[in-house]
Amino acid sequence: MISFRDWMAKAVEEYYRRSDFRRDFFTAPELDRSFGYALAEYIAGLLREFKEPVLLELGGGSGALAYDVLTYYKETEKEIYRNLRYYIYDFSPTLIKVQRERLKEFGNKVFWVESLVNLEGVVFSNEFFDCLPVHVIRDGKELFLQNDSELWRELEDDRLVEVLKRMGYENLSQTVEVCLECVDFLREVAAHLRRGYHIVIDYGYTTEELKKFPDGTMAGYKAHKFYPTPSEGMDITAHVNFSLLEEYGKDYGLESISLKSLRDFLMESSVFIKELERLSVSEEPEDVERLSRLKTMLVSMGGRFKVIVQRKLQEA
Ligand SMILES: C[S@@+](CC[C@H](N)C(=O)[O-])C[C@H]1O[C@@H](n2cnc3c(N)ncnc32)[C@H](O)[C@@H]1O
């Protein structure tokens, strides 16, 4: 017998460690460079207060986001680019190889780390927290798996009981996923961020939106198909609870200064809007294709994804 949480942790790690990296999903940076440019533009506004800015990306994937962020700074924010150091934290040797190849042209600006580094700057991620394993809970019981069948057992972990109580979820009659690793990562980020910002972009919900997902948010993706019941060999994810990030961030000195949908975040980006306007009047086949990808980003991802920005002030 194994808890769903342990099964998911193992399945996700095996999935990303596989040597035959397959594309079962597209992330926003893989759809179009405008996503990375919009994020880079936003981060530039935060980085101006740092003389030697450092960026740390959690979960670099194919390196697409790092490539676009670095390209944006190289081309349009030369002052930031000159002093910038870009760290990537990832546990997949396969993907690190892909990232190294993709980011070759940025030479010694990019570093790969096996654990978080102390820094002043910005820690950020896109579709990283949704990979972290969750405990699945319903009516005060936790989901375990035994030979393909489900077992529901009384809660044993005091941390789970504490989270359910603090978030006000104890008496909900629906499935709730609790990501203790998300809390642990927040603590780690805060411990390493001497001063700066933490940005999480991911699909997710707030406590108020929890009722939209009565059976939970767990899902698997394989070859671009969605499977409500995930199994091994798939990209397995659970939506991120942004209220949990806000609530537990406070314990570690991470104050949430903004939480909005990805659509709103992109529509407030001047670089994104300019590109959208340019593509809208172009008849070039490549531009027409890109416009449709930007629309996908705004329409189908835009409402489901959120962007949270947390600030860590320097400790006295
Ligand atoms: C869905 S991909 C997102 C990639 C990229 N951020 C993007 O937007 O295209 C998730 C990434 O996080 C990494 N990852 C997932 N769980 C991790 C963990 N617990 N520790 C370190 N890296 C992890 C995976 O190897 C992969 O690179």
* Confidence grade of residue 131 (pLDDT, cut at 50, 70, 90): very high
Predicted confidence (pLDDT) at residue 146 exceeds the cutoff of 60: yes
What integer is the mean pLDDT of 292-305? Answer: 94
Contact 280, 234 (CB under 8 A): no
pLDDT in tens, 236-286: 889 999 999 999 999 999 999 999 999 999 999 999 999 999 999 999 999
Alpha carbon nearest to ligand 1 atom 14, residue: 59
SS3 176: strand
What is the DSSP track for 23-54?
-----HHHH-HHHHHHHHHHHHHHHTT-SS-E
Instruction: Sort residue 173 into left (φ over 0), alpha (ψ -120 to 50) or beta.
Output: beta
Domain containing 139 — which CATH number? 3.40.50.12710
Instruction: Give the residue numbers spanning the domain of 262.
Output: 2-311
Q: How confident is the model at residue 14 (pLDDT cuts 50, 70, 90)?
A: confident
pLDDT tens, residue by residue, 35-86: 999 999 999 999 998 989 999 999 999 999 999 999 999 999 999 999 999 9
Tokens of 259: 């939480």
Burial of 251 (0-12, 13-18, 19+ CB in 10 A): exposed
Is residue 168 a part of any domain in this protein?
yes
> Which of the listed residues 91, 234, 239, 307 should we mutate to test ligand 1's pocket, taking the one with most ligand atoms within 8 A of CB?
91
Nearest to 81 by CA among 114, 108, 113: 108
CB 52 within 8 A of CB 195: no
Query: H/E element holding 267?
Result: helix 262-267
Q: What is the pLDDT of residue 24?
A: 63
Instruction: Give the model confidence (pLDDT) of 183-239 as tens digits.
Output: 999 999 999 999 999 999 999 999 999 999 999 998 876 655 556 666 666 678 899
Confidence of residue 18 (pLDDT cuts 50, 70, 90): confident
Neighbours of 37 (CB within 10 A): 22
What is the pLDDT, as a whole number, of residue 231? 66
Cβ(69) – ligand 1 distance below 6 Å:
no
CB-ligand 1 contact for 112 (6 Å cutoff): no
Residue 164 pLDDT grade (very low, low, confident, very high; cuts 50, 70, 90) = very high
Residue 177 lies in a domain: yes
If one counts the domains in the chain, the total is 1
| Residue 124 Cβ < 6 Å to ligand 1 | no
Q: Which two tokens stand for residue 69?
A: 């962020």
Q: What is the mean pLDDT of the chain?
A: 92
Asked if the structure places residue 19 within a domain, the reply is: yes
CA of residue 131 to ligand 1 center, whole Å: 7
User: Encoding tokens for residue 121?
Assistant: 């700057």
Tell me: the pLDDT tens digits for 79-113? 999 999 999 999 999 999 999 999 999 999 999 99
Atom of ligand 1 nearest to the CA of 16: 25
Nearest CA to ligand 1 atom 2: 61
Atom 20 in ligand 1: residue holding the nearest Cα:
91
Closest CA to ligand 1's atom 1: 127
pTM summary value: 0.95
Q: Is 176 in the pocket of ligand 1 (CB under 6 A)?
A: no
Q: Determine, yes or no, domain membership for 268.
A: yes
316 domain residue, yes or no:
no
Q: What's the whole-number mean pLDDT along residues 25-39? A: 93
